[in-house]
């Protein structure tokens, strides 16, 4: 049993890149073999891909907000 957050922190970037690199190949395999092949991998990769996109949106929103408030840009530094 693995903790998903720990695995996400360590492996998310590589897993998502591997998923993006192989998703065409996997979909072709699924046409010729039972659709369950790679099902767990695809589910995890798509879930983590959405998670990283959500985290990026939140971070970009925070950056825009802090720039607007002037908390990041300080001309005295």
Examine residue 76 and state whether it is found in any structural domain, yes or no.
Answer: no
pLDDT value of residue 63: 84
Examine residue 77 and state whether it is found in any structural domain, yes or no.
Answer: no
pLDDT value of residue 19: 92
Tens-level pLDDT at each residue, the chain (77 residues) = 678 888 888 989 999 999 999 989 998 988 888 878 888 899 999 999 999 999 999 999 988 887 776 655 555 65
Residue 10 domain boundaries:
4-69
pLDDT value of residue 74: 56
Write down how long the chain is.
77
Examine residue 57 and state whether it is found in any structural domain, yes or no.
Answer: yes
Examine residue 15 and state whether it is found in any structural domain, yes or no.
Answer: yes
Burial classification of residue 45, based on how many CB atoms lie within 10 Å of its CB (0-12 exposed, 13-18 middle, 19 or more buried) = buried
Examine residue 47 and state whether it is found in any structural domain, yes or no.
Answer: yes
pLDDT value of residue 73: 57
Examine residue 74 and state whether it is found in any structural domain, yes or no.
Answer: no
What is the count of structural domains for the chain? 1
- Total-model pTM: 0.68
Q: What phi, psi does 63 have (nearest 5°)?
A: -65, -45
Examine residue 58 and state whether it is found in any structural domain, yes or no.
Answer: yes
């Amino acid at each position: 049993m693995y903790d998903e957050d720990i695995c996400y922190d360590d492996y998310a970037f590589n897993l998502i890149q591997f998923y993006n690199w192989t998703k065409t190949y996997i979909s072709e395999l699924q046409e010729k073999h039972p659709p369950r092949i790679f099902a767990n991998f695809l589910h995890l990769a798509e879930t983590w891909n959405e998670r990283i996109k959500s985290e990026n949106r939140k971070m970009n929103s925070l950056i825009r907000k802090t720039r607007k408030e002037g908390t990041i840009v300080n001309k005295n530094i």
